Amino acid sequence: MQMSERLRRAPVSGIRKMFDLAASDSINLSLGEPDVLPPDEALKGMNDAAVKGMNRYGPTAGVPQLREAVASRYSSYGVNAANIMITPSGTTALMTIAQSILDPGDETLVPGPGFVVYGPHTMISGGKFTEYRLTEDDFQPDIDDIQKKITKRTKAIFLNYPSNPTGGTLSGTSFGAIRDIASDNGIVVVSDEVYEPFVYEGKHRSFITELDNSIVVNGFSKMMAVPGWRMGFVIAKGDVIGDLTKMAYHMYACPNMPAQYGIMNALPSVDGYLKGVREIYRKRRDLITSRINNIDGMKMSAPKGAFYAFPKFSFDMTSDEFAMRLVKEKLICVPGSAFGEYGEGHLRFSYAADEEKIIKGMDILEKVANNIGR
Ligand SMILES: Cc1ncc(COP(=O)(O)O)c(C=O)c1O
């Protein structure tokens, strides 16, 4: 069967490709999937809801009590339940937004290196995307590059901080510059903040303060270690939530009902849970950073957020070739090129894996890098 031109042209995710190559006894540092347990309250809340019969369709924008619970988590920004839409995952939220805001021929700017869905979502929605460069080392949006790439058709800038794959967080200067570019040019900022709970230094700067021309995406996959539940949310102005809800109805009718009750049950106490999880990730971050910086030909700054290391390497090979050498030695990571043209020269390792796995993985990396370097 012939699929649409726009679907055929959209690339498959390079992250999944590496995952599919993994031998069963490999050390897999390729996936951005928390290995910690979800909060007990979430499991209990979801289970109870299913047993009690909350298995029917629900409101498209989510169960009102959960919308309220999410709004109260962000109440310092002045949002209320009307600003919240619960979605079946951050990915679905992003696609719902792309489908809602883009007309054929509209353009988006997406971060490079950046998470793998923004470009394909643009294409599938009939638009055209261009990558803007992130600066080396601290991975801030390169404002000159963005200015150069804005056209009359630029509808949206995708932003992702804390960042996958780089682990960078957004500086105050970058925040201000993006805010000004967006308002000066009538561009929507789609700010993907799913790693917001995982900041190890400094603070998270959220575009919830800029809802006049921003839509914020967040989710529970990382926050509560439940990626298989497919639970996310959008924060936007009330009228935008209304429009997105119209699109959501046609895409998926409503989010998973029992899972919403699970999230609702865990949300009031999630800060205590996250404090513990952050400490676990912080230790692993320090471990992986020091191991990588001890390898000749590789270097990185300690990531300030998320749970990824994105070192640069100086060997005369592509990131794909380097990653394949590692696969042969049973270490799975993701080549930087999977995150766009500006990701070349890097590898991405997820440290959402226990210390033993990180140590074994780094032993393999060191051995392979030393062999290449010789
Ligand atoms: C930056 C970023 N945004 C969004 C997502 C999507 O998360 P989910 O669809 O599980 O909510 C991911 C998942 O890896 C991510 O890394």
Residue 185: give its domain's CATH number: 3.40.640.10
Model pLDDT, residue 21: 73
Domain shared by 277 and 248, yes or no: no
Rounded Cα distance between 54 and 148, Å, is 51
pLDDT above 80 (res 22): no
Rounded Cα distance between 95 and 118, Å, is 8
Which residue has a Cα nearest atom 14 of ligand 1? 32
Domain shared by 264 and 278, yes or no: no
Rounded Cα distance between 249 and 256, Å, is 13
Enumerate residues lining ligand 1, CB below 6 A.
32, 89-91, 115, 160, 164, 192, 194, 219, 221, 227, 232
How far, in Å, from the CA of 262 to the mean position of ligand 1? Answer: 19
Tell which one of 18, 222, 231 to mutate to probe ligand 1, the residue whose CB is within 8 A of the most ligand atoms: 222
How far, in Å, from the CA of 296 to the mean position of ligand 1? Answer: 32
Identify which of 278, 236, 295, 226 has the alpha carbon closest to the alpha carbon of residue 43: 226
Provide the sign of the torsion angle of the four alpha carbons 144, 149, 152, 153, taken in this order. negative
Domain shared by 309 and 355, yes or no: yes
Residue 12 — pLDDT band, cuts 50, 70, 90? Answer: confident
Identify which of 137, 182, 138 has the alpha carbon closest to the alpha carbon of residue 159: 182
Lowest mean pLDDT among 16-30, 127-141, 224-238, 309-323: 16-30
- Residue labelled with tokens 């409101």: 59
Domain shared by 111 and 255, yes or no: yes
Domain shared by 157 and 75, yes or no: yes
Backbone φ and ψ of 144, nearest 5°: -60, -40
Identify which of 119, 102, 109, 188 has the alpha carbon closest to the alpha carbon of residue 141: 109
How far, in Å, from the CA of 117 to the mean position of ligand 1? Answer: 9
Q: Which atom of ligand 1 is nearest to the CA of 219?
A: 11
How far, in Å, from the CA of 161 to the mean position of ligand 1? Answer: 12
Domain shared by 242 and 296, yes or no: no
Residue 355: give its domain's CATH number: 3.90.1150.10
pLDDT above 70 (res 15): no
Q: What one-letter code names the amino acid at 73?
A: R
Range of the domain at 70: 40-270
pLDDT above 90 (res 122): yes
How far, in Å, from the CA of 31 to the mean position of ligand 1? Answer: 11
Q: Which atom of ligand 1 is nearest to the CA of 89?
A: 11
Domain shared by 218 and 250, yes or no: yes
How far, in Å, from the CA of 106 to the mean position of ligand 1? Answer: 24
Token readout for 56 is: 């029917």
Among 270, 290, 319, where does a domain finish? Answer: 270
pLDDT in tens, 226-240: 999 999 999 999 999
Model pLDDT, residue 37: 96
Domain shared by 66 and 153, yes or no: yes
Q: Which atom of ligand 1 is nearest to the CA of 160?
A: 1
**What's the total number of domains in the chain?**
2
Model pLDDT, residue 211: 98
Tell which one of 121, 192, 194 to mutate to probe ligand 1, the residue whose CB is within 8 A of the most ligand atoms: 194
Tell which one of 221, 233, 308, 350 to mutate to probe ligand 1, the residue whose CB is within 8 A of the most ligand atoms: 221
Domain shared by 73 and 216, yes or no: yes
Domain shared by 59 and 148, yes or no: yes
Domain shared by 12 and 107, yes or no: no
Among 218, 250, 270, where does a domain finish? Answer: 270
pLDDT above 90 (res 74): yes
Model pLDDT, residue 20: 74
Domain shared by 125 and 243, yes or no: yes
How far, in Å, from the CA of 126 to the mean position of ligand 1? Answer: 22
First to last CA, the chain: 50
Q: What is the average pLDDT across 113-123?
A: 96
Model pLDDT, residue 48: 98
pLDDT above 80 (res 13): no
Among 236, 270, 304, where does a domain finish? Answer: 270
Rounded Cα distance between 334 and 278, Å, is 23
- Contact (CB, 8 A) for 245 and 259: no
Model pLDDT, residue 24: 82
Model pLDDT, residue 374: 67
How far, in Å, from the CA of 231 to the mean position of ligand 1? Answer: 10
How far, in Å, from the CA of 194 to the mean position of ligand 1? Answer: 6
Torsion of CA 290, 295, 298, 301, to 10 degrees: 10
Q: Which atom of ligand 1 is nearest to the CA of 221?
A: 10
Tell which one of 91, 216, 263 to mutate to probe ligand 1, the residue whose CB is within 8 A of the most ligand atoms: 91
Model pLDDT, residue 14: 66
Model pLDDT, residue 90: 98
Model pLDDT, residue 209: 98
pLDDT above 80 (res 16): no
Token readout for 291 is: 């191991």
Exposure class string for 77-106: b at 16+ Cβ within 10 A, else e: eebebebbbbbbbbbbbbbbbbbbbbeeeb
Model pLDDT, residue 23: 77
Please state, rounded to an integer, the average pLDDT across all residues of the chain.
96
